[in-house]
């Protein structure tokens, strides 16, 4: 399996500011996935972060709003830029460990509240 | 349109009772179906993963069933405990070739919020 650590676990932010969420995995993984979970809604994939290349964004999500870094095979960051109350959500990092192909493991999530 | 629908949206049961959660999907081509448990303030944790050929799979007090013909799945919880209070999410994977991953394209249900009362 994989142990995934996310920081911060929660934060309260002001409108117009940006917040960077960190995701650390205890093993090397090819892809890291960033999800958003809005209240009462299903998980939505924001983007797939690949080491050494640009992240791949899903429809409705753009790099200017959600820039992603992937400097190595165990770490990634997601930034929520120019936040508005509509960005209040839980953001989840997830991975598919190489020894558990086909299985998806999630971090604890980062609960973001924008005032 | 690929969709995953879960019912009920929420459920309250007494400790020790059994319950069954439903998942209907229209995802195609089907690869596998997963059930996750998400405690409040935590990330989802996998309970079971079922492929096309599997009808039933158990994980302790959790038993998942899959009917690929009717595109329905259920999660049965036996002798519920207070710690079973959580959101249960059904995730269906569509076969999708993507270099470096065998996950396929995932479709998430909104979850069933289960509350177990003492």
Nearest to B42 by CA among A92, A67, A42: A92
From its phi and psi, is residue A65 left (phi > 0), alpha (psi between -120 and 50) or beta? alpha
> Distance between CA A91 and CA B61 in Å, rounded?
30
Residue B59, CB half-sphere, CA atoms under 13 Å: how many? 13
Among chain A residues, the shortest Cα distance to B94 is held by A102
Residue B19 has pLDDT above 60, yes or no: yes
> Predicted confidence band at A16 (pLDDT cuts at 50, 70, 90)?
very high
Answer yes or no: are the C-beta atoms of B34 and B23 closer than 8 Å: no
pLDDT tens, position by position, A70-115: 999 999 999 999 999 999 999 999 998 888 877 899 999 999 999 9
From its phi and psi, is residue A35 left (phi > 0), alpha (psi between -120 and 50) or beta? beta
Q: Is the sign of the CA dihedral A38, A43, A46, A51 positive or negative? A: positive
Residue with the larger pLDDT of the pair B43 and A50: B43
> Distance between CA B73 and CA B89 in Å, rounded?
12
Residue B77, CB half-sphere, CA atoms under 13 Å: how many? 27
Bridging pattern class, strands A89-95 and B4-7: unpaired
Candidate from A30, A103, A107 with C-beta closest to B46? A103
A92 interaction partners in chain B (CB closer than 8 Å): 43-44
């Amino acid at each position: 399996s994989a142990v995934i650590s996310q920081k911060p676990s929660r934060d309260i932010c002001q409108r117009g500011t940006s917040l960077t969420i960190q995701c650390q995995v205890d093993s090397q993984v090819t892809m890291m996935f960033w999800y958003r979970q809005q209240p009462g809604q299903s998980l939505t994939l924001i983007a797939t972060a690949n080491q050494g290349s640009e992240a791949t964004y899903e429809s409705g999500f753009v790099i200017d709003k959600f820039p992603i870094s992937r400097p190595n095979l165990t770490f990634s960051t997601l930034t929520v830029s120019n936040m508005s109350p509509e960005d209040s959500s839980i953001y989840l990092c997830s991975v598919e460990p190489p020894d558990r192909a086909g299985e998806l493991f999630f971090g604890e999530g980062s609960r973001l509240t924008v005032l | 349109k690929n969709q995953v629908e879960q019912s009920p949206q929420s459920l309250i049961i007494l400790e020790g009772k059994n319950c069954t959660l439903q998942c209907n999907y229209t995802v195609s081509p089907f690869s596998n179906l997963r059930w996750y448990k998400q405690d409040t303030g935590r990330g989802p944790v996998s309970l079971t993963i079922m492929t096309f050929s599997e009808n039933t799979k158990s994980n302790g007090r959790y038993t998942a069933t899959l009917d690929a013909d009717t595109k329905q799945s259920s999660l049965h919880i036996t002798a519920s405990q207070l710690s079973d209070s959580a959101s249960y999410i059904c995730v269906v994977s569509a076969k999708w070739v993507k270099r470096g991953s065998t996950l396929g394209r995932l479709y998430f249900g909104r979850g069933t919020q289960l509350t177990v009362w003492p």
